[in-house]
Amino acid sequence: MSMSSGPSPQLAPASGRAVAALVVGLASFFICCHLPGPVAWFLAVQERRAIRAGEASPTGEGYATAGLVLGIISTALLVVGVLFAFLWLFVFGGLAIVAAATGH
């Protein structure tokens, strides 16, 4: 015999911003070459603030956290990629200019 005190309270569904943070984070990480990573990061931070302030449903906190992690990783990979591209351009581009100028 189970002691049931009635139906359990229903939590509100996750907000659109929490879902958007997760979707943008996933797209950034797996599809879009890390370009939307900062957007996912921003959306996730805004949603987590809204959850802590009681303005959004706590159901979306997992989505927001996953979007935050994916956004941070994607942004870091984007920064590393851009730095590597500039380094590649300046090192090998500079060597090509020197080689052309010296006739090698």
- Number of Cβ within 10 Å of residue 25's Cβ equals 28
Give the pLDDT confidence score for residue 96 in this predicted structure.
74
Q: How many domains does the chain have?
A: 1
CA dihedral 66, 68, 71, 75 (to 10 degrees): -140
Residues 4-26: tens digit of each pLDDT: 566 667 778 889 999 999 999 99
Give the pLDDT confidence score for residue 91 in this predicted structure.
79
Q: 92 in the Ramachandran plot: left (φ > 0), alpha (ψ -120 to 50) or beta?
A: alpha
Token reading at 56:
């959004």
Q: Is residue 75 part of a domain?
A: yes
Q: Is residue 31 part of a domain?
A: yes
Q: Is residue 74 part of a domain?
A: yes
Higher per-residue pLDDT: 1 or 50: 50
Question: For residues 57 and 14, is the Cβ–Cβ distance under 8 A?
Answer: yes
Q: Is residue 78 part of a domain?
A: yes
First to last CA, the chain: 90
Give the pLDDT confidence score for residue 11 in this predicted structure.
75
Predicted confidence (pLDDT) at residue 67 exceeds the cutoff of 90? yes
- DSSP, collapsed to helix, strand or coil, labels residue 21 as helix
Q: Look up the domain containing 33 and give its range.
A: 16-102
Give the pLDDT confidence score for residue 10 in this predicted structure.
78
Predicted confidence (pLDDT) at residue 63 exceeds the cutoff of 90? yes
Mean of pLDDT values over 64-73 = 97
Residues 40-51: tens digit of each pLDDT: 999 999 999 999
pTM check: above 0.85: no
Measured in whole angstroms, how far is the alpha carbon of residue 89 from the centre of its chain?
A: 27
Q: Is residue 91 part of a domain?
A: yes
Q: Is residue 97 part of a domain?
A: yes
| Phi, then psi, of 86 in degrees rounded to 5 | -65, -40
